[in-house]
Homo-oligomer: A and B are copies of this chain.
Amino acid sequence: MKVSERLRRDADNIWKRIIEHPFVVELYAGTLPMDKFKFYVLQDYNYLVSAIRNFGIISSRADSVDAMREVIEILYLESESEFKGYEEFLGKLGCTIEDAVNVEPIPVNTSYTSFLLSTSSLKSYAESITSVLPCFWSYAEIAEFHRDKLRENGNRLYTEWASVYLSESYLKLVGKMRGLVDKAGEDFQYKKLKTTFITASRYEYMYWDAVYNTHTRHR
């Protein structure tokens, strides 16, 4: 079994809770209150910027020139198309990039990005590339699992947002990232990778949970 498959299997109970989280379910069904969605999108700015910085660090630690160049390709994609897409989407929500910049990150946002950045700064390349996989991969699985709901979904912003994670280019990106983990993890102590993958998966869950609930409290 490839390392990424094994990791996915060992995190299965957390991933189930992610996929069934009300934020996710309501988003795909079109019933998520718009202010919760807006809150999530605005929080995402800090995550996105940190994730890009993080890929910069990971590229510097890659264990081969080929891996380094693949990570840089992903980094560039994030910094260019992902960033541009994000800014455009903000506009459709009636927000500006300044709104997003000025948003204070909620604790789980700070915690998750701190975890990613301390992993890439201090641990091995294998653990670093593993730590970023749950975010990319779970978005694809969420989309695949709930895709049928989208047909009934009357909220254009939600369907547009979701369509990204169903696109061929996104699936190709996830495939590349899994490939990087499979390669880096081949001769690496599995237990450490598992801890990393599960910790990151847990942050994914906590993130969905926090944006679903924090906002409610803020109203």
Contact = CB atoms under 8 A, between A and B. Distances in A.
Give the contact-size bracket for chain A: 35 or more
Contacts of A199: 110
A115 B83 CA distance: 25
Chain A interface, DSSP helix/strand/loop, else mixed: helix
Contacts of A107: 111, 202-203, 206
Interface in A93-122: 107-108, 110-111, 113-115, 117-119, 121-122
Contact of A118 (B71, B83, B118, B203): B118
A17 interface: no
Contacts of A75: 56, 59, 72, 75-76
Copies in the complex: 4
A79 B79 CA distance: 15
A63 to B, nearest CB: 11
Contacts of A69: 79-80, 83
Interface stretch (A46-54, A152-160, A174-182): A46-54
Contacts of A72: 52, 56, 75-76, 79
Contacts of A140: none
A32 interface: no
A22 B111 CA distance: 24
A65 interface: yes
A58 B122 CA distance: 11
Contacts of A59: 52-53, 56, 75
Given A73-B79, A111-B115, A115-B118, 12 more contacts: A53-B60, A56-B72, A56-B75, A72-B79, A76-B76, A107-B202, A110-B111, A110-B115, A110-B199, A114-B115, A114-B119, A118-B121
